[in-house]
Chains A and B, each alone.
Chain A
């Protein structure tokens, strides 16, 4: 090992800040947890009511057959993309600045995907027949594509999150020894699988993580494609579009990045992570938000221009009602507030400050939720035959379950943060080590670990090829 003072100051500061939430629980945390549990509980109660009485307790009827549940489904699937992007793509490209963010990003993905999976179950008319999806599943159905792809993406994300938790669990197992309960100590021990940081272990982890990094990207794209095809494979106005798959994928990148900025800002405040979630991170994520926002705007523009130029009957009716009729009160604020304004804010250096970016990200989250609602409901409400437009008024059941889903999303993250640091301590330390190694030890040094860059990135993958 390179001759370095034990626990140099940056590592010590990181430990303090990162481990504090694991070791000390504030009253505020309990209040927060209680609120989340309450909201989730109300959601369960609402669902129990629905399970007993049937979907008639919702506001959905024969015209608007899908409402808040499916809007949430699409929204959460969108949020899940960010983690993949940050962790996988940025890891592959070796962007060092992403280090503090990776765990938060992966966690967001996992939590969002869990909520994504819940929503269609809540929407089923016969949840008692859930297993029929496996027993009688038909490959031709877009729903079955979702059933195949989303759990696969979820599994990939969990594995991906877990792989990077292995060394972290080892760190926690070693450094929190005696400071946490036996149960927790046992948990860390178990999850660490006996990780000691040996080269063989590192190589194995590198390889595994490298493969997961690569596979999780097409899985992410596939997820948004199959979600879009639930709508895209029908004849409805607004859904009958060939570009739905990339449209949804870009939308997911946009909304996922925004959620990440939101959470980053919150954690920075609450956990005092100013040294780690720096202005640079906000700036870079701000660039990404602007880039994805511009791309998403391009797709939106292309969609509406193509439909609005031809003014095919069903599109004319829909566009008229979206922009000038019964849904305009939602569409314009959603569009301006969710798509235009945040991009402008993120583009300008003046407005790309942390608080403003946080505000912009909130706007994006709200705007994108509205956008998902606007995708689902008006196309269903539009009459297919000469009858009246459908009316959809969500009931307390749907609202409660929607709120509960957001609470559940936050709850999973909250509980995770009680057990694991939100910043990947071992990755940060490793990054510092390799920095120090390249500074203090030019080529030829016998220092084993530090000489070979042990960063988990594509270079590491290449380095491990010799062992294969």
Chain B
């Protein structure tokens, strides 16, 4: 998290890029090969092939950690799925099946190693730029929920699926300004992500930015939208005082005047001290009665 990134996605290079194509089979014994290696900066096309002999009903969704990529599902009907990405992060990243499949335990030890590149050598792959479009269900709100819709496509107009889009709000609090992350959503197969936003801040206008940080071969993109705030939203937080149902919203403790508590509910919640008070008052009334009675009996002239 940090200040909004001003730059947009990389412009695609016109020249053809070198693509490293790797096939990894998912067999009854696990991934084959279990380890693969690529150079940093290369464009990688990693295809997973369903190749079970037994476990014919097994289905897999392969995720690549670090790059946060997810393949389509492979099973006996759809045997291949490919993920494409630019290996811009060096390191060792695990890939494994994300479903509870039969051979799950055998699919836990595979990894992709991205070798730290020399940098000066050519072939530094570039990202495909994307275009993010955000719209809101209403441009003005009185504190009710606003539905934000994001459409993420690449430059050719093809939808980018399974992409994580985060939403940020320009906010200021106690003298500090910043972009506050308010939520996230994932694009579906059509590149559309929908998220419902409940406004909580009491500001005249919400400036919301949706941002896609880039994934796989896709570069980052973002867009902002402004929503007018007509009326302050309700409190994001309701707290009931200890022990009382249907109590006022603000946290109170006993002894705070000005709450909308009735005498009845107060008496009920204070039954203990009230009983004590009753006893004490009764005692004093009795004292007066006794003293008066005794005094008048003694002073009586009969």
Contact = CB atoms under 8 A, between A and B. Distances in A.
Contact of A193 (B254, B274, B298): B298
B137 to A, nearest CB: 48
B156 interface: no
B302 interface: yes
B16 interface: no
A88 to B, nearest CB: 14
Interface in B264-302: 270, 273-274, 276-277, 279-280, 283-284, 286-287, 289-291, 293-300, 302
Interface string B12-47: 000000000000000000000000000000000000
Given A163-B294, A200-B300, A205-B297, A152 B274 contact: no
Contact of A139 (B277, B289, B294, B302): B277
A204 B276 contact: no
B276 A148 contact: yes
B298 A226 contact: no
B60 to A, nearest CB: 48
Interface string A130-156: 000000001110001100110010011
A194 B283 contact: no
A140 B294 contact: no
Contacts of A222: 276, 279
Nearest to A467: B297
Interface residues of B, number: 25
A198 interface: yes
A218 B279 contact: yes
Contacts of B3: none
A310 B41 CA distance: 61
B273 A219 contact: no
B170 to A, nearest CB: 39
Contact of A149 (B280, B290, B291, B293): B280
A406 interface: no
Given A148-B276, A159-B287, A205 B302 contact: no
Contact of A156 (B287, B296, B299, B300): B287
Given A140-B270, A222-B279, A211 B298 contact: no
Given A204-B297, A222-B276, A139 B290 contact: no
A173 interface: no
Interface residues on A, range: 20 to 34
Interface in A194-221: 194-195, 198, 200-201, 203-205, 207-208, 211-212, 215, 218-219
A138 B266 CA distance: 13
B175 interface: no
Interface in B214-246: none
Nearest to A153: B283
A159 B286 CA distance: 11
B255 interface: yes
A166 interface: yes
A193 B277 CA distance: 32
A163 B294 CA distance: 8
B241 to A, nearest CB: 12
Nearest to B269: A140
Contacts of B273: 139-140, 144-145
A148 B255 CA distance: 18
B38 to A, nearest CB: 50
Given A200-B302, A201-B298, A205-B294, A211 B286 contact: yes
Nearest to B300: A200
Interface string A387-418: 00000000000000000000000000000000
A139 B275 CA distance: 11
Given A156-B287, A193-B295, A207-B293, 20 more contacts: A144-B273, A148-B277, A148-B280, A149-B276, A149-B280, A152-B284, A155-B283, A155-B284, A166-B298, A198-B302, A203-B297, A205-B298, A207-B290, A207-B294, A207-B297, A208-B290, A208-B293, A208-B297, A211-B286, A212-B286
Q: Report, nearest first, the 10 A-B pairs whose CB atoms are least far apart.
A: A204-B297, A208-B294, A139-B273, A208-B290, A148-B280, A140-B254, A193-B298, A201-B298, A152-B283, A152-B280
6 contacts: A139-B273, A155-B284, A200-B300, A200-B302, A205-B297, A222-B276
